């Protein structure tokens, strides 16, 4: 029944509809990097300086691994995840270098790591991400090192994959619960890790692996649908990386093991997933980090795979830029999937602005090529999505290689009830910590959604207008926010509300800049840079600064503060307009030519 449904939906090749293992490559290695890929890497190292730097970084990492203790069964809060990821990274690094160089020290150290993890009493299936990532590690170790493993080594690695990995997934698949029916990152990570484990040992355990693979192929499209229609990811940039890389691991494993990916890579929006990453990354090296996540762009080896798969050289350029960062930590798959020919977004003719539907996030910038460019991210979205914070209408702003309006990101996941009943009591998850309107000091409705009503993207003026009516539905009968980038130099944020009864309204922007207040104006300062903030309307509004320090044990948000625009009294109707102009210290602030008008007239 499941195979017939998947075939009807176009996710299974006809020959594989009844047997997902049809066409299985019988030899090893068969996961992600075949022997021909290793030869390609050797050739690449002869001609590419960046590839040689990646290789050298991996060799240095392998040296550090040799002197480190193997993984231990140590949980942080409810998670073994740090140990699973450590094992995975080490196995990838050591196994790739062994395949490239043949040094037995790499093989022996990889086996030491795997033996330690195989001896764990379990891989913490109560937090199944931990089990999935460890299964992934063992699948790669088994497959990539297969030709050099003894029969005994193959047996205990295979047994660990079965008992501590695959069999732990069966109750979820059989009962169709938890991550199996999830639409977000847990789906991709758990199906990806378990699916790779099944592919690694499919010829030895065909019946078990056929069942598991069939279930994984049924489950994964639920999460892939979240990329529709245009590649955005609802859980934010941090979880874009986690979800997308595991999607790519699994699809790459299917391709190399079976010769195809059941057309899963053709899911609507998936080919644009890399485009979303390019747009959410700013020239200051930060992302628009809505939802639980940090603001560092980081490296994403899956961009090389996406670049090759979809023939998109901008994805290549983006990952090459990330690897040029001195703080970058290249992974083994940066070499395996490395692409040489990149193009900048401007060379490819990409527009400066983009709006991603479904996730309802928009991005603006003043240039693709100027490192001092303005970068602006604006969010509407759906607060019911996993990892959401109560942030409808929020924005971030970079200019002059620094961030002026920031998102504080996630707090400690191990705080009591962080993903439960206490979530909306923690400051970083509350509306008051975001760059949006706060009404009567209360949170937005956690079940609210917001969408863009209109947008205009032109060189001299780019803007979006969003409908925030659901955010405070019990207090406001109408709420709109418009955000504009004017002349690629100024940001205008305009809020309009109609209340059911008078309410207290506070406009806010979290910053780590020094702030000098001047009534309806404020000057924000960072070394060599300034940002002028002005309240254009109403005349009675003034700026103030409020602290961003919640009670312990929450993150104290050291060095930050919140610039707020406040009114002398409660209001029933309001149009509040704030202009933000970044500029270089020692130069006059650029003049803003802006005609005040309602959002319906933008």
Closest to 380 in 3D by CA, of 303, 469, 302, 440: 469
Give domain status of residue 568, yes or no.
yes
Same domain? For 330 and 364 the reply is no
Give domain status of residue 201, yes or no.
yes
Nearby residues of 139 by Cβ (< 8 Å), 6 or more positions away: 31, 161, 193, 196, 197, 199, 200, 201, 253
Same domain? For 311 and 399 the reply is no
Same domain? For 289 and 183 the reply is yes
Same domain? For 372 and 303 the reply is no
Flag whether pLDDT at 12 surpasses 50: no
What is the pLDDT averaged over residues 113-125? 98
Same domain? For 321 and 358 the reply is no
Strand 529-537 relative to strand 521-526, pairing: antiparallel
Kind plus residue range of the DSSP H or E element containing 64: helix 49-66
pLDDT bin (cut points 50, 70, 90) of residue 486 is: very high
Give domain status of residue 13, yes or no.
no
pTM, full prediction: 0.95
Give domain status of residue 347, yes or no.
no
Give domain status of residue 153, yes or no.
yes
Domain that holds residue 477: 354-587+594-601
Give domain status of residue 141, yes or no.
yes
Same domain? For 313 and 395 the reply is no
* Under 8 Å between Cβ of 509 and 562: yes
With tokens 């047994």, the residue in question is: 159
What pLDDT is recorded for position 191? 98
What pLDDT is recorded for position 18? 80
Flag whether pLDDT at 8 surpasses 80: no
Degrees to nearest 5, angle at CA 354 with 353 and 358: 160
pLDDT bin (cut points 50, 70, 90) of residue 222 is: very high
What is the pLDDT averaged over residues 198-212? 97
Final residue of a structural domain among 336, 367, 384: 336
Give domain status of residue 4, yes or no.
no
Q: What is the 3-state secondary structure (H, E, C) of 339-380?
A: CCCCCCCCCCCCCCCEEECCCCEEEEECCCCCCCCCEEEEEC
Domain count, the chain: 2
Same domain? For 237 and 358 the reply is no
What is the pLDDT averaged over residues 93-120? 98
Same domain? For 315 and 374 the reply is no
What pLDDT is recorded for position 551? 97
What is the pLDDT averaged over residues 197-209? 98
Beta carbons within 10 angstroms of residue 33's beta carbon: 26
Question: How crowded is the C-beta side of 170, counted as CA atoms within 13 Å?
Answer: 13
Flag whether pLDDT at 375 surpasses 80: yes
What is the pLDDT averaged over residues 124-151? 98
Same domain? For 269 and 380 the reply is no
What is the pLDDT averaged over residues 523-539? 98
Q: What is the pLDDT of residues 423-456, one digit of tens each?
A: 999 999 999 999 999 999 999 999 999 999 999 9
What is the pLDDT averaged over residues 194-205? 98
Q: What is the CATH number of the domain that holds 379?
A: 2.70.98.70
Same domain? For 236 and 371 the reply is no
Q: What is the CATH number of the domain that holds 154?
A: 1.50.10.100
Across the chain, mean pLDDT equals 96
What is the pLDDT averaged over residues 514-539? 98
Residue 587, by phi and psi: left (phi above 0), alpha (psi -120 to 50) or beta?
beta
Flag whether pLDDT at 518 surpasses 70: yes
Same domain? For 258 and 376 the reply is no
Question: How crowded is the C-beta side of 601, counted as CA atoms within 13 Å?
Answer: 4
Final residue of a structural domain among 310, 336, 362: 336
What pLDDT is recorded for position 473? 97
Separation of alpha carbons 332 and 245, rounded Å: 13
Dihedral through CA 381, CA 383, CA 388, CA 391, nearest 10?
A: 70
Cis-peptide, bond into residue 103, ω within 30° of zero: no
pLDDT bin (cut points 50, 70, 90) of residue 271 is: very high
Q: Over the range 209-235, which residues count as b (16 or more CB within 10 Å of their CB) and which as e?
A: bbbbbbbbbbbbbbbbebbeebbbbbb
Give domain status of residue 10, yes or no.
no
Separation of alpha carbons 479 and 496, rounded Å: 6
Same domain? For 368 and 328 the reply is no
Separation of alpha carbons 459 and 461, rounded Å: 6
Final residue of a structural domain among 305, 336, 367: 336
Rounded to 5 degrees, φ, ψ at 48 are -115, 115
Flag whether pLDDT at 370 surpasses 80: yes
pLDDT bin (cut points 50, 70, 90) of residue 421 is: very high
pLDDT bin (cut points 50, 70, 90) of residue 16 is: very low
- The more confident residue out of 311 and 12 is 311
Flag whether pLDDT at 304 surpasses 50: yes
What pLDDT is recorded for position 17? 55
What pLDDT is recorded for position 9? 46
């Amino acid at each position: 029944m499941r195979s017939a449904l998947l075939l009807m939906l176009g996710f299974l090749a006809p020959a594989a509809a009844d047997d997902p293992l049809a066409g299985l490559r019988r030899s090893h290695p068969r996961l992600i990097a075949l022997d021909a890929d290793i030869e390609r890497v050797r050739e690449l190292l002869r001609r590419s300086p960046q590839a040689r730097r990646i290789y050298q970084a991996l060799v240095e990492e392998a040296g550090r691994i040799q002197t480190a203790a193997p993984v231990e069964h140590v949980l942080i809060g409810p998670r073994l995840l740090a140990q699973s990821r450590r094992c995975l990274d080490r196995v990838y690094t050591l196994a790739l270098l062994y395949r490239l160089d043949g040094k037995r020290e790499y093989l022996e150290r990889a086996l030491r790591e795997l033996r330690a993890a195989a001896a764990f009493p379990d891989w913490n299936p109560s937090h199944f991400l931990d089990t999935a990532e460890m299964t992934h590690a063992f699948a790669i170790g088994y497959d990539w090192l297969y030709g050099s493993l003894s029969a005994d080594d193959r047996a205990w690695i295979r047994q660990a994959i079965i008992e501590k990995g695959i069999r732990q997934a069966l109750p979820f698949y059989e009962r169709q619960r938890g991550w199996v029916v999830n639409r977000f990152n847990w789906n991709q990570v758990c199906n990806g890790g378990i699916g790779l484990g099944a592919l690694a040992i499919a010829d030895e355990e065909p019946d078990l692996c056929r069942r598991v693979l069939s279930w994984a192929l049924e489950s994964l499209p639920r999460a892939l649908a979240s990329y529709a229609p245009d590649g955005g990811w609802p859980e934010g940039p941090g979880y874009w990386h986690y979800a997308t890389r595991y999607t790519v691991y699994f699809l790459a494993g299917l391709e190399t093991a079976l010769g195809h990916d059941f057309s899963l890579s053709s899911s609507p929006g998936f080919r644009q997933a890399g485009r979303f990453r390019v747009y959410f990354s700013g020239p200051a090296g930060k992302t628009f980090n809505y939802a639980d996540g940090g603001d560092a762009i980081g490296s994403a080896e899956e961009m090389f795979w996406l670049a090759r798969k979809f023939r998109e050289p901008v994805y290549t350029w983006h990952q090459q830029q990330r690897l040029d960062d001195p703080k970058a930590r290249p992974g083994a798959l940066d070499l395996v999937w490395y692409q040489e020919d990149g193009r900048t977004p401007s060379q490819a003719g990409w527009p400066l602005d983009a709006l991603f539907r479904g996730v309802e996030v928009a991005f603006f910038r003043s240039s693709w090529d100027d490192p001092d460019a303005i970068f602006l991210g604006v969010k509407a979205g759906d607060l019911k999505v996993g990892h959401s914070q109560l942030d409808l209408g929020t924005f971030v702003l970079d200019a002059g290689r620094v961030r002026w309006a920031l998102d504080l990101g996630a707090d400690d996941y191990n705080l009591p009830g962080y993903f439960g009943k206490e979530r909306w009591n923690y400051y970083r998850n509350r509306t008051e910590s975001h760059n949006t309107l706060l009404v009567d000091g209360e949170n937005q409705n956690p079940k609210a959604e917001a969408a863009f009503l209109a947008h205009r993207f032109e060189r001299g003026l780019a803007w979006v207008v969003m409908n925030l009516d659901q955010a405070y539905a019990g207090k406001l009968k109408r709420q709109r926010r418009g955000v504009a980038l004017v002349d690629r130099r100024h940001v205008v944020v305009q809020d309009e509300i109609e209340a059911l009864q008078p309410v207290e309204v506070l406009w806010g922007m979290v910053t780590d800049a020094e702030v000098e207040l001047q009534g309806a104006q404020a000057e924000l300062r960072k070394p060599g840079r300034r940002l002028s903030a002005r309240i254009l309307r109403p005349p009675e509004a003034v700026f103030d600064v409020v602290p961003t320090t919640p009670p312990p044990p929450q993150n104290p948000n050291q060095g930050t503060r919140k610039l707020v625009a406040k009114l002398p009294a409660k209001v029933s109707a309001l149009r509040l307009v704030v202009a933000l102009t970044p500029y270089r210290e020692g130069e006059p602030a650029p003049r803003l030519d802006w005609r005040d008008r309602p959002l319906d007239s933008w």
